[in-house]
Amino acid sequence: MDLLEIFTAAVALAMDAFSVSISAGMIIKKPGFGHYFRLSFHFGLFQFMMPIAGYFFGSYLESYIKDYDHWVAFGLLVFIGLKMIREAFSKKEEVSFKQKDPSRGFNLVLLAVATSIDALAVGLSLGVLNQPVLFPGIVIGITCSLFSIAGVFIGKKAGNVVGRKAEAIGGIMLLIIGVKILYEHLI
């Protein structure tokens, strides 16, 4: 992956956390430094760790699916991208919080895991394609942290209009990356 692809994937993966951060910004009455820090740290950390975990699974599977790796990467990215787009337009509530402050406790960990599952699949794709993962993981984690900070701020100011659109844009970006991987391997 080149730098543009890494950054594009990072932005796409950050959209879930961005959407959740917008919701958190709307829920927290007066977000302070601690709220911004906890959300951005946890979301960024999990977004960094998940591709690395996925990479090791992908590296293990590489010898078994070497001839089909581009199809696996394409399938995973398209599946996740379509899922993100579908969820962006579903009628159900984006995030359901059972506590007033989603930046604390077990709900924070659950949100961090839930918003980083897609990054696991991207890491799996990198492992299957035998691509490096550390630098993309760092870029993904930092990008997610920054988007989380922006999401809390926007949620505080603008409401939930942006949240669903951001997730759809992220899904479209993953679709584009999947098609590009398939195109490069078939041509």
- Write the DSSP string, 26-69: HHSSS--HHHHHHHHHHHHHHHHHHHHHHHHHHHHHTTTSGGGH
Give domain status of residue 131, yes or no.
yes
Give domain status of residue 13, yes or no.
yes
Q: What is the pLDDT of residue 43?
A: 96
Q: What is the pLDDT of residue 115?
A: 84
Reported residue count of the chain is 187
Give domain status of residue 152, yes or no.
yes
This prediction's pTM: 0.72
Residue-wise pLDDT for 77-117, tens only, equals 788 778 878 877 875 554 444 446 788 888 888 888 888 88
- Sequence-separated (6 or more) residues with CB below 8 Å from residue 164: 19, 88, 89, 94
pLDDT tier at 62 (50, 70, 90 boundaries)? low
Give domain status of residue 95, yes or no.
no
CA distances in angstroms from 132 to 8, 56, 152, 183, listed in the order given: 16, 11, 31, 20
Give domain status of residue 97, yes or no.
no
Domain extent, residue 110, equals 3-90+102-186
Count of domains in the chain?
Answer: 1
Smallest CA-to-CA distance from 128 within 183, 57, 180 is with 57
Phi, psi of 131 (to 5 degrees): -100, 155
Lowest mean pLDDT among 48-57, 82-91, 141-150, 153-162: 153-162
Residue 16 · residue 163 · CB < 8 Å: no
Residue type, 119: A
